[in-house]
Structure 1
Amino acid sequence: MEEATSKVHVRLAVEDGWPPVAFEELEAKPLGDHRYRLLSPPAFAEQLAIGDVVSVEHQESPEPEQVWVDSVIEPSGHSTVRVVFFQAAGQESQSGLRRDLEGLGAQVHDTGFQGLIAVDIPGEVDYRAVREVLGKGESQELWDFDEGAISHLHDYES
């Protein structure tokens, strides 16, 4: 039996045309009492990761009712990194990065925006190894990456 999922919305602060949308939708599992568990990583929102439990507010206008993320109430221990590929990367480099990240235990998610992926990094994954792979391609100017949410389990600065 498949679990019921819903969409939750996240408002985004658009500055100088970025991100290219004012909000995004994430897959989530309703937990009751205005709480949802995120099932997909955000393409743009900061400080959200798969597995996080968030509190939400309901907005009835415009129709139909929409559910908006208010705050994270229980972090999951996952981290979210987004990668933007440059044209120089080519398909082979993109496929290689996906293979490398998945080999380390990360999950790569397509965002619906060409050249942009979201990477879910579970708490047990060695984040230093992930960062090393990402840094290598960044130094070769194949891609740029953004650390959207870094779990306390991956905080390499502490």
Structure 2
Amino acid sequence: MSVPGAGESVAAEVRRIKVWFRFVPREGWLPHDREGLWAVQVGPDTARIENVPFLQDGVACGDIVRFTTDADGVHWAVGQVASSGGCTIRVLPVPDGPLGRSAAAVHERLAEFGLGGEAFSEEFPLVAFDVPVGADLRAIKALLVRGQGEGWWHFEEGSVTEAWRGV
């Protein structure tokens, strides 16, 4: 008896790659001019971003980007193909504020929203958050503004949607 599809892979192989972005470093900020983001290749020259960018603006987790591959096999982003509809928000605690230099304290303050995110380093406790479609944008933005006003942190919008701008 033969089994339909026997010998075929049940799920397509996931190809994880790193896609690199180039940018001009900002004065007074980290001195980097590129950032590599993990992605899943979805086409010959396209990939879905799988982590939150710390430095690159205009990109959010889940976005589909187009890339070229250089002679060394490095994948360089050349543009966005599709937006995930999510946002990238970065939060840096004020060192002498009530949260100190604690990325964990920043995560705690925003825990009620269930946002994914990661910290840059212990020395530079910048937290990059993925704000997915369907998140309570009004409440998240209100807390970010309140926290900045009360000296907890500074925040920036790395990649936002019209829905975010509208609240």
Instruction: Give the TM-score range, shorter chain.
Output: 0.7 to 0.9
For residues 57-90 of structure 1, the C-alpha deviation after alignment (integer angstroms, 9 at most, x for no partner) is 1122xxx321111111110011000111221233
Q: 1:124 to 1:140 in 2, by over 3 A?
A: same
Q: Which residue of 1 aligns with 2:57?
A: 46
**TM-score, with structure 1 as normaliser:** 0.86
Q: Which runs of 4+ in 1 moved over 4 A?
A: 91-94
RMSD of aligned alpha carbons: 2.2
Q: Which residue of 2 aligns with 1:106?
A: 115
Query: Which ranges of structure 1 fall in alignment gaps of 5 or more residues?
Result: none
AA matched with 1:20: P
SS of structure 1 residue aligned to 2:161: coil
Q: Report how far residue 132 of structure 1 moved.
A: 1.2
Which is greater in Rg?
2
Equivalent residue in structure 1 for 2:21, among 10, 35, 41: 10
Number of aligned residue pairs: give it. Answer: 154
Q: 1:96 to 1:118 in 2, by over 3 A?
A: same
AA matched with 1:58: T
Is the counterpart of residue 146 in structure 1 residue 148 in structure 2? no
Percent of aligned pairs with the same amino acid: 25
Q: Which residue of 2 aligns with 1:81?
A: 89
- 1:93 and 1:85 map into 2 onto residues whose CA distance is 7
**TM-score, with structure 2 as normaliser:** 0.82
